[in-house]
Structure 1
């Protein structure tokens, strides 16, 4: 396993664990059904219109923001698309939070050379 992948997985684990109880939302359609490689239209069919659609700032692409609701609690969730419009990432963060995490990881002195394929 390469160093970049390990750093990415660690970053995602740390941010996801701090911001959500992902097991609580695992049966929500966006969490359960959205898969890497799906189109924006397929995601809209599953989750409806996103709250916002923003251009990605680190890599070419687009990001959809949603809010999941379960037992009266709200949880941000994003679906991120690469430059060809295919899902390449989902997380329990807003698009802005995910972008910030990637920008921080790419900053000089972060210990990573290239995050590749990210938001």
Structure 2
């Protein structure tokens, strides 16, 4: 496994809290039906128009922000697309939060000595 990917996994594991959200919102269509490799159109057919669409800042691609609602509670949820327009990540966080996680993972990368760069 490459080192930047390992660092990203470590950062994601440290963010915690996802198990609770996944249990509460697991039946929401975006959570239950969206899978890696789906297109933007497929995601919009499942979840409707996103609240916002942003260009990714760390890796080429775009990101859709949604707000899930369950029993009066609201939770941010994002679906991220690679440069080919296919889902490569979904999470209980905003696109901006996902971008920060990616940026920190890249900065932390052992291959760069923790000083950023290296790509």
Q: TM-score, normalised to structure 2's length?
A: 0.84
How far apart are 1:92 and its partner, in Å?
0.5
**Native 8 Å contact 1:20 1:92 kept in 2:** no
Residues in 2 aligned to 1:103 and 1:4: alpha-carbon distance in whole angstroms: 11
Residues in 2 aligned to 1:81 and 1:32: alpha-carbon distance in whole angstroms: 17
Deviates more, 1:46-55 or 1:4-13: 4-13
Number of the residue aligned with 1:113: 111
**Native 8 Å contact 1:20 1:75 kept in 2:** no
May I ask how many residue pairs the two structures share in their alignment?
112
Number of the residue aligned with 2:97: 97
Kindly report the root-mean-square deviation, in angstroms, between the aligned alpha carbons of the 2 structures.
2.0
Residues in 2 aligned to 1:112 and 1:31: alpha-carbon distance in whole angstroms: 32
Number of the residue aligned with 2:32: 32
Number of the residue aligned with 1:48: 48
Describe the superposition over 1:45-85 as per-residue Cα deviations: whole angstroms up to 9, x where unpaired.
00000000000001110000000001111000000000010
Structure 2: unaligned runs, 5 residues or longer = 113-119
Residues in 2 aligned to 1:28 and 1:18: alpha-carbon distance in whole angstroms: 15
Q: TM-score, normalised to structure 1's length?
A: 0.84
**Native 8 Å contact 1:36 1:89 kept in 2:** yes
Structure 1: unaligned runs, 5 residues or longer = 115-119
Q: Which has the higher helix share?
A: 2
**Native 8 Å contact 1:16 1:92 kept in 2:** no
